[in-house]
Amino acid sequence: MQIRFISGLTAEEENELAPALLAAVTTLLDRFPLAYTLRIETSGNQVFQHSLPARPHPDERLVPPRPAHADVA
């Protein structure tokens, strides 16, 4: 997914706002079990970026289940 946001801010205002916007959105996205990269490019040619790699869903077991054993008579 790619989202574009066009602002009417000056380059200086964008450079001041971008780190706060990045922090706010990453705080929200970090709550979900997904991998993402968030990149903000300002009109002043500044780039602010944060990435989060894929991680297992909390319900998934990290240890595989043991194989079933046959009953011995």
Average pLDDT, stretch 52-62? 67
pLDDT band at 71 (very low <50, low <70, confident <90, very high): low
Backbone phi, then psi, for 35, in 5-degree steps?
A: -95, 145
Q: Quick check: 68 pLDDT over 70?
A: no
pLDDT tens for 18-48 read 999 999 999 999 888 889 999 999 998 999 9
Say how far apart CA 73 and CA 61 lie, in whole Å: 32
